[in-house]
A = this chain, B = another copy of it.
Amino acid sequence: MAVKDVKKVVLAYSGGLDTSVILKWLQTTYRCEVVTFTADLGQGEELGPARDKALMLGIKEENIFIDDLREEFTRDFVFPMFRANALYEGQYLLGTSIARPLIAKRQIEIAEQVGADAVSHGATGKGNDQVRFEIGYYSLKPDVKVIAPWREWDLTSRTKLLEFAEANQIPIAKDKRGEAPFSVDANLLHSSSEGKILEEPWDEPPEIVWQRTIRPEDAPDKATEITIEFERGDAVGINGERLSPATLLTRLNALGRENGIGRLDLVENRFVGMKSRGCYETPGGTILYVAHRAIESITLDREVAHLKDSLMPKYAELIYNGFWFAPERRMIQAMVDESQKSVSGTVRLKLYKGNTIVTGRQSPNSLYSMKHVTFEDDQGAYDQFDAQGFIKLNALRLRLGAMAGRKGGAV
């Protein structure tokens, strides 16, 4: 047992079989009071049953917390991350990673409120989520006790888990009897699948894996055209209609779903040191990413854009590894947010069978100067002769190098 003498623990509780077993296991192992916290992060499940099940498992009414966090999730976590164009390992939009800190934060808030000394979660000892949860906990409440049942108990096989459930009168949904063919995590930003039948990276994922988008092949034969409006780096409307963050993301998800947008089949590097294969669906997020880059393309200064890009991999890694509530993440965020002041305007897109195609961008803050770039007569806006000096001085060190025998940029 990693920690001792637990009085009251706040459990991140989904209402599913695994966290119900954990709930019971906490009660029996630590003989402590259990407080459940269930969040609606847009995973697309009813939360009512979670309450019923918690009650049935003996949790007191006042110890059951159920929150709709969809707006907070989108506004304070997803949108700030999208300001940075964050992609982990060049591809992954960090849909799971970004949800964990919010859950951790709410758990700690509840722990402070109910006077709990411990928190617990249902993530395994092999994955990234345990790190994300626990770094969040420790950063927000440094003396908190953390219980990670999957790292501690001996319910190491499906059979043992079911036996424990039966022995403890935990109801088991019929479809949970057999083992799921893969593991799923979902929230408003994305749905991820991994494990079991997906463990061989040479095998194509079966269609059943994809739950949140239709096949590009099944999407409409005609493109859907939309506009997205931005203010200070955040999307604020679709087709001219102003929408709250979560509503907007929900709409984009629907648009993405029906156009087969946002599937990703990836082998990635976990923080704990192994490679894993995940299948991600981020329909709305994929559209948002493309649109945000497009609005930045006319509103950001070049060096600002390049500086952002150079820090993006670090920022994405921080979020992936669980360091949302770390000062270095906040520092980069401060820089990123500073860059977004002028990132306002409209992007027009075509959505078509898996493709998100930019067809136009405009902004009151545009730095694009047709007067300068034009192939036509520019009326003296730009003196082409300046380019000669520009090139000659940029080349000077290379010329000096070549004269010293280092031709062609020999080091």
Residues of A near any B CB (own CB < 8 A): 2, 85, 89-91, 105, 124-126, 130-131, 134-135, 138-143, 148, 150-152, 156-157, 183, 195-196, 199-205, 216-217, 221, 223, 263, 265-270, 272-277, 293-294, 297-298, 301-307, 309-310, 313-314, 317, 323-332, 334-335, 338-339, 341-342, 348, 352-355, 357-362, 365-370, 372-377, 382-411
In the bound complex, do residue A274 and residue B397 qualify as a contact, i.e. CB atoms below 8 Å apart? yes
A274-B400, A368-B275 as given contacts; A331 in contact with B326, CB under 8 Å: no
Bound complex: CA of A366 vs CA of B200, how far in Å? 12
In the bound complex, do residue B269 and residue A397 qualify as a contact, i.e. CB atoms below 8 Å apart? yes
In the bound complex, do residue A386 and residue B375 qualify as a contact, i.e. CB atoms below 8 Å apart? no
In the bound complex, do residue A355 and residue B355 qualify as a contact, i.e. CB atoms below 8 Å apart? yes
**A353 CB contacts on chain B under 8 angstroms:** 216, 352-355
**A329 CB contacts on chain B under 8 angstroms:** 409
Bound complex: CA of A342 vs CA of B401, how far in Å? 11
Excluding A301-B326, A331-B339, 12 further A-B contacts by CB distance (< 8 Å) are A126-B384, A134-B395, A139-B399, A140-B407, A151-B385, A270-B373, A272-B393, A273-B395, A277-B373, A327-B410, A366-B404, A382-B396
A196-B375, A357-B263 as given contacts; A409 in contact with B327, CB under 8 Å: yes
In the bound complex, do residue B338 and residue A334 qualify as a contact, i.e. CB atoms below 8 Å apart? yes
In the bound complex, do residue B273 and residue A393 qualify as a contact, i.e. CB atoms below 8 Å apart? yes
- Least distance between A29 CB and chain B CB atoms (Å): 16
**A304 CB contacts on chain B under 8 angstroms:** 327-328, 331, 411
In the bound complex, do residue B325 and residue A397 qualify as a contact, i.e. CB atoms below 8 Å apart? no
Which of B148, B195, B298, B403 is the one whose CB lies under 8 Å from A375? Answer: B195
Bound complex: CA of A392 vs CA of B126, how far in Å? 13
In the bound complex, do residue A309 and residue B89 qualify as a contact, i.e. CB atoms below 8 Å apart? yes
**A366 CB contacts on chain B under 8 angstroms:** 201, 404
**A396 CB contacts on chain B under 8 angstroms:** 272-274, 372, 382
Residue of B nearest to A156 (CB): B377
- Least distance between A233 CB and chain B CB atoms (Å): 11
7 contacts between A and B (CB under 8 A): A125-B387, A131-B391, A267-B361, A273-B393, A277-B373, A386-B388, A386-B393
Residue of B nearest to A378 (CB): B126
In the bound complex, do residue B130 and residue A297 qualify as a contact, i.e. CB atoms below 8 Å apart? no
Bound complex: CA of A408 vs CA of B139, how far in Å? 5
In the bound complex, do residue B411 and residue A341 qualify as a contact, i.e. CB atoms below 8 Å apart? yes
Residue of B nearest to A385 (CB): B151
Which of B325, B326, B335 is the one whose CB lies under 8 Å from A332? Answer: B335
- Least distance between A410 CB and chain B CB atoms (Å): 7
**A393 CB contacts on chain B under 8 angstroms:** 272-273, 386-387, 389-390
In the bound complex, do residue B298 and residue A267 qualify as a contact, i.e. CB atoms below 8 Å apart? yes
In the bound complex, do residue A369 and residue B274 qualify as a contact, i.e. CB atoms below 8 Å apart? yes
Residue of B nearest to A405 (CB): B365
- Least distance between A89 CB and chain B CB atoms (Å): 6
In the bound complex, do residue A342 and residue B406 qualify as a contact, i.e. CB atoms below 8 Å apart? yes
In the bound complex, do residue B204 and residue A401 qualify as a contact, i.e. CB atoms below 8 Å apart? no
**A359 CB contacts on chain B under 8 angstroms:** 204-205, 265
In the bound complex, do residue B395 and residue A139 qualify as a contact, i.e. CB atoms below 8 Å apart? yes
Which of B358, B373, B388 is the one whose CB lies under 8 Å from A148? Answer: B388
In the bound complex, do residue B357 and residue A397 qualify as a contact, i.e. CB atoms below 8 Å apart? no
Bound complex: CA of A362 vs CA of B383, how far in Å? 42
**A410 CB contacts on chain B under 8 angstroms:** 327, 330
